[in-house]
Amino acid sequence: MKDITKFAVVGLGGIAQLIHLPILSKLKNVEIVSLAEINKNRLNTVAEKFGIKNTFTDYKELIEKSEFDAAIIATPTNTHHDIAIDFLKAGKDLLIEKPIALNYEETKRINDTAKKYSCKVMVGMNLRFRPDAMLLKSIINSGELGDIFYIKCGWLRKQSSEQKWFFKKNEAGGGVILDLGINLLDLSLWLIDFPGISSVSVQNFHHNTKDVEDSAVGFIRNKNGTVINFDVSWSLHSESDGFNLTAFGSEGTAHLNPLNAYRRIDSIQVDLTTPSSGKKDLFKKSYENELKHFIGAIKGINPILSSSDDALKRMKLVEVLYKSTQQNKEIKL
């Protein structure tokens, strides 16, 4: 059928096996036509599980020999740039798992190449696509909370990968800031419509790691007067893992995970939310919404969110965050 969107997936680690492939395989009008993975045993096992015939250990061979509309890149961060450039030169739309690349320079080359070859590039910032986050965005946009002036957020969780490359700066680009911080800050800035940033101040820690940071605490001042306070960690001791976010407004306050929003009218506290579903459902639903949005963008149904243009701004922010901790001072933009 003409309206079927054909996908290739490059990199068959945890995110591909547990998220992308199971979701894509259940979506209507979607076909996974090809897989690429350098680990041949993993490639054969995953291909057999999902019934995919076209398999390659070299992604370049996949590009040459497969017919598809878009690809998902879920490989180690240091490989994203080269793989993305080759797919874009072949005229393919891309969903790249975050972070888009090792640094700002690589991100700019990906973005420039996408524009040159008229391709769409989306970066996997799944927190934006959680149902509770989208509802919170609607509440903020409605004005029920008044003017948002302060966002406090944090994310404590085990690192996303146990592979050796994940703990090497030249292969991962960074530590917990790139693993958790970039996604959390993207969500925070999205909720307040991406105001310009005036300055950042960050302190990194290395409790269980050497080459990359395993904890970071930071403060961001925005040009519109709003501020963001964040902490992200793989190593902080806590009763439970997971992210949290509170948006403070002049008329009310909202919390995420779980969602709870209220405003105060005189001496009465008015609840603005309804009970939400479980965290596990929200987590999986965020990726399902993300993939559906990407497919819609490929088909021209909706504009693309979390684009490579957006990623360029996020990676510039990351660059300044690391500059702050290296120089041990607040950095003005």
Using CA atoms, how far apart are residues 35 and 170, in angstroms rounded to an integer?
Answer: 26
Do 251 and 103 fall within a single domain? no
Mean pLDDT of 99-110: 97
Res. 1 pLDDT band, cuts 50 70 90: very low
Is 295 domain-assigned? no
Q: Which domain holds residue 261?
A: 127-289+313-332
| Per-residue confidence (pLDDT) for residue 161, from 0 to 100 | 82
Question: Is 23 in the same domain as 171?
Answer: no
| Same domain, yes or no: 157 and 135 | yes
> pLDDT tens digits, residue range 111-130?
999 999 999 999 999 999 99
Does a structural domain hold residue 317? yes
279-331: per-residue pLDDT in tens?
558 889 999 999 999 999 999 999 999 999 999 999 999 999 999 999 999 99
Whether residue 43 is found in the same domain as residue 178: no
Q: 0.85 cut: is pTM over it?
A: yes
Residues 6+ apart with CB under 8 A from 50: 21, 25, 32
- Please tell me whether residues 230 and 189 are part of one structural domain: yes
pLDDT tens, residue by residue, 143-187: 999 999 999 999 999 887 888 899 999 999 999 999 999 999 999
Q: For position 32, which CATH number holds?
A: 3.40.50.720
154 located within any domain: yes
Domain boundary among 91, 124, 157: 124
Report pLDDT for 266: 65
Same domain, 84 and 144: no
Number of domains, the chain: 2
pLDDT attached to residue 241: 72
